[in-house]
Structure 1
Amino acid sequence: MPIPILNCDRNSRNQFDRFLAGAQEDLSSATERILPILEAVKSRGDKALIDYTEKFDGIKLTSITLDPQSIQTNIDPKIKESFLRAKANIEAFHEAQKRESWSKVIDGNRLGVKYTPIPSLSVYAPGGKALYPSSVLMGVIPAKIAGVGNIQLITPPQKDGLPEILIWLSQILGVSRIVTVGGAQGIAATAYGTESVPKSEFVVGPGNAYVAAAKSYLAGQGLIGIDSPAGPSEVCIIADSSANPKWVACDMLSQAEHGEDSSAILLTTDPSFANLVSEELEKAFVERPKRLEMKQNSIYKNSAILVFPNLEDCIWFSNELAPEHLEIQTKENDFVFSKIEHAGSVFLGPYSPVAMGDYISGTNHILPTARGSRIYSSLGVDTFLKRVTFQEVTKESLETLYPFVKLMSELEGLDEEHGTSVKVRTEDSI
């Protein structure tokens, strides 16, 4: 059962519409299931967290929060070196994103922007088989650079204790506390606050459908900020015959490794290259059988190779898909990139697999999915900054601009108070 190879053009909607629609994740059923959990945490606080943790994780909590600095860890020095190298690169990339407040004189008045950090953040870290300690780096570092002062890690408890890597990362990143509660109940605790868990203004980090549903629902209620609505992970690859088909197949499979609902879409103009990549995928299933069923479901059910008549059509489809990850492996990488309008993060050239951005290069791997890159951006320092605009109007400017305010406020029917609030300042002195 090889990966589907489809001949497409811009008019063959029946061929590729399902991939555009497939990028959306329906959280309605998950939302129905988590609503009672959210309400219970809101009304019963710590008691609900303890009860749900026992029900879902089989662990009776004696303490809901931990101070990471109080826990001894013993991390392999080579693992430490890897994460410290990643930390340094991520910090360097995000330091370049820092904002400076500014002001400018416009029509005689001093106007400007003051940047202020959000007060608090929760970073969600899944447990068990879905352990992603690299996401802790990605969530905490830009927030620290932005100036967020109160950061807590939310993670489900484990029967054999919390993973040491999460504790050590919390220590070196300056995380205030670890909240040992997972799932929708953990997200609810950050949104509402409980006796033990301080309320956060913002939450980021990957999780299952129930975590995603809780984040989206609570954000929709205006109770907490989130990075972006989450869906299955995805990669789109634009490649021509200059690319290595084995490398491209590996990149598609690295995405499939996230889960059977993940998708990997290859866009090419070369039918022969498409067949070579398909053959490499089949070889890989034999040579690397770990998580085989998961990878095959992802590749056979949610992925495809689309053959377009020209490179411009490949670019067009990529912009329609607005993928989480976009790899460009062509003879004209810079030209293709110049035409890209929507993507979470772009990986240019043959030596830039998504895995480099996932771990070590320095860019952030918390990215918009489900075509979200049409309106959302990757997690960064800006995510945790608020723009406060300000103005200081001079008496001379107020008097000069009042006639315009008078006409505009009269047009809107607000002249009695809006217009008057300006007029009195032209007549009276302080």
Structure 2
Amino acid sequence: MTARTELRRVDLRGSSPSTTELRSVLPRGGVDVNSVLHLVTPIVDTVRERGAEAALDYGQQFDGVRPATVRVPAEALDRALAELDPDVRAALEVSIERSRIVHGDQRRGDTVTEVVPGGTVTEKWVPVDRVGLYVPGGNAVYPSSVVMNVVPAQVAGVTSLVVASPPQAEFGGLPHPTILAAAALLGVEEVWAVGGAQSVALLTYGGQDTDGAELAPVDMITGPGNIYVTAAKRLCRGVVGIDSEAGPTEIAILADETADPVHVAADLISQAEHDVLAASVLVTTSPELADAVDAAVAEQIGRTKHVDRVRTALGGDQSGIVLVDTIDDGIRTVDAYAAEHLEIQTRDASDVAARVRSAGAIFVGPWAPVSLGDYCAGSNHVLPTAGCARHSSGLSVQTFLRGIHIVDYSRDALADVAQHVVALANAEDLPAHGDAVRVRFEAL
């Protein structure tokens, strides 16, 4: 008989918790980035001072291998693509094609606004010049993350891209060949064999490779990583832009009695497969569904490859089942949770999804599991975690664009508003601001 595996439960039925109370009682894991800053700070400082040599030294220490150079040779990229499994290549090509379709519709155009006759403000969108795209190693191989980072940057018009990924002892100090193949498939010519905090530092400050080639610093770093990568991004933020401080991955599922417990269980397990800190949360109006999901998890978990990792994640404080009275209560609950990935498996799922305000991405109905979005939906899977979906978006073309206002006023248009500029300057006790307008007319 299969052993029963039950997620811990939070029963909110019969109560009306405030947003503050919801945030305190909902399952939530996360990591304390501050707890490792003292370990990461000297790594960042050393790489800033010693460049590639320091980054490669840390690669030897943490990854067990020291590549001859940071930059991956072009022939290694070509070889990885030539040797890529045909089925994996076909899947990556579909992922790239669909991602380009979706992200292609995101590109903003310039906007010219005539404020008054002779006075215009134009918002011009300009891509970041050079971007570092981090692709983690760790528990899995992530060619999909290459796609999710590179495609929106390319669509935005970023002309200088470098993908950084940890060196692998198994592959002679190169990143995993599937990572290299994905980069080659996308036309990325610059890949660095460096991971962890040292990767973020080297991307930020640049340097000279061991063969004398320049490793140019970037203007922005995107892509998820472990707690040390996140800490390094926090330390380097300001010198470079970053997309976010990504935490452990998470799924929330809002479901009623119409949901299939086998589907729900499979989706909770699939997210738990990422990491022992991954969060899997079910919010439901149906105690019967909750019981059935527990039974389905117990039945399926023994068949999954990474069973120990999954059990640990599902049994952690970050995972659980939340019981609510109504779908309205469920919507309030998932909005308070603000999941990275939110599935809606309810009656009238599209209508319910339309009412949700806080989620990184929403997957509607029984035929849109999160794993579809991970690979082939066309959406982006680099998404805000740890409740940051309340205020932040996932990676998109806009991430790589800067809006610049261009102000163009004629003499008459300035004259029309001059007295108001002077009045506001005086009100703020900045009279020279007003004088900068006044002298233009007094001198004529």
Q: Same fold (TM over 0.5)?
A: yes
1:211 and 2:218 matched: no
Deviates more, 1:58-67 or 1:81-90: 58-67
The Cα of 1:158 is off from its aligned counterpart by: 1.4
| 1:292-371 mapped onto 2 (5 Å cutoff) | 292-301=307-316, 302-371=318-387
| 1:390-401 mapped onto 2 (5 Å cutoff) | 390-401=406-417
The 1-side partners of 2:347 and 2:27 are apart by 30
Q: Are the aligned partners of 2:23 and 2:336 in contact in 1 as well (CA < 8 Å)?
A: no
Query: Match of 1:27?
Result: 33
Secondary structure, aligned partner of 1:200: coil
Query: Match of 1:105?
Result: 114
Q: 2:59 aligns with which of 43, 53, 56?
A: 53
Q: Which amino acid aligns with 2:93?
A: L
Query: Match of 1:250?
Result: 266
Query: Match of 1:200?
Result: 218
Q: Are the aligned partners of 2:99 and 2:151 in contact in 1 as well (CA < 8 Å)?
A: yes
Structure-2 change in CA distance of 1:376 and 1:38 (3 Å): same
| CA displacement, residues 201-227 of structure 1 (integer Å, 9 cap, x when unaligned) | 1111222211111112211xx112111
The Cα of 1:400 is off from its aligned counterpart by: 1.4
Structure-2 change in CA distance of 1:17 and 1:404 (3 Å): closer
1:40 and 2:56 matched: no
| CA displacement, residues 344-373 of structure 1 (integer Å, 9 cap, x when unaligned) | 001011100000000001000000001111
The Cα of 1:16 is off from its aligned counterpart by: 5.7
| CA displacement, residues 52-101 of structure 1 (integer Å, 9 cap, x when unaligned) | 12222222321111243564231122211110011000000000001111
Secondary structure, aligned partner of 1:143: helix
The 1-side partners of 2:56 and 2:273 are apart by 33
Give TM-score, length-normalised by structure 1. 0.94
Count of residue pairs brought into register by the alignment: 425
Query: Match of 2:198?
Result: 185
The Cα of 1:296 is off from its aligned counterpart by: 1.2
Q: Are the aligned partners of 2:335 and 2:359 in contact in 1 as well (CA < 8 Å)?
A: yes
1:89 and 2:98 matched: yes
Q: Which amino acid aligns with 2:186?
A: L
| CA displacement, residues 278-324 of structure 1 (integer Å, 9 cap, x when unaligned) | 111111123x1421121111112221111101111110011111110
Query: Match of 2:212?
Result: none
Query: Match of 1:72?
Result: 79
Q: Which amino acid aligns with 2:360?
A: G
The Cα of 1:15 is off from its aligned counterpart by: 8.8
| 1:264-283 mapped onto 2 (5 Å cutoff) | 264-283=280-299
| Structure 2 gap segments, 5+ residues each | 210-214
The 2-side partners of 1:110 and 1:60 are apart by 56
Q: Are the aligned partners of 2:339 and 2:389 in contact in 1 as well (CA < 8 Å)?
A: yes
Query: Match of 2:158?
Result: 148
The 2-side partners of 1:89 and 1:113 are apart by 29
Q: 2:188 aligns with which of 147, 156, 175?
A: 175
Q: Are the aligned partners of 1:327 and 1:348 in contact in 2 as well (CA < 8 Å)?
A: yes
Give TM-score, length-normalised by structure 2. 0.92
The Cα of 1:338 is off from its aligned counterpart by: 2.4
Q: Are the aligned partners of 2:339 and 2:360 in contact in 1 as well (CA < 8 Å)?
A: yes
Q: 1:118 aligns with which of 128, 149, 153?
A: 128
The 2-side partners of 1:107 and 1:15 are apart by 49
Secondary structure, aligned partner of 2:207: coil
Q: Are the aligned partners of 2:112 and 2:123 in contact in 1 as well (CA < 8 Å)?
A: yes
Q: Are the aligned partners of 1:398 and 1:426 in contact in 2 as well (CA < 8 Å)?
A: no
Q: Are the aligned partners of 2:30 and 2:277 in contact in 1 as well (CA < 8 Å)?
A: no
Q: Which amino acid aligns with 1:130?
A: A
The 2-side partners of 1:407 and 1:138 are apart by 50
The 1-side partners of 2:440 and 2:18 are apart by 64
Secondary structure, aligned partner of 1:356: helix
Structure-2 change in CA distance of 1:111 and 1:15 (3 Å): closer
| CA displacement, residues 220-241 of structure 1 (integer Å, 9 cap, x when unaligned) | xx11211111111001111111
The Cα of 1:242 is off from its aligned counterpart by: 1.1
Query: Match of 1:290?
Result: 305
Query: Match of 2:433?
Result: 418
Query: Match of 1:127?
Result: 137
| Structure 1 gap segments, 5+ residues each | none
The 2-side partners of 1:14 and 1:320 are apart by 8
Q: Are the aligned partners of 1:68 and 1:171 in contact in 2 as well (CA < 8 Å)?
A: no
The Cα of 1:328 is off from its aligned counterpart by: 0.5
Secondary structure, aligned partner of 1:55: helix
Query: Match of 1:233?
Result: 249
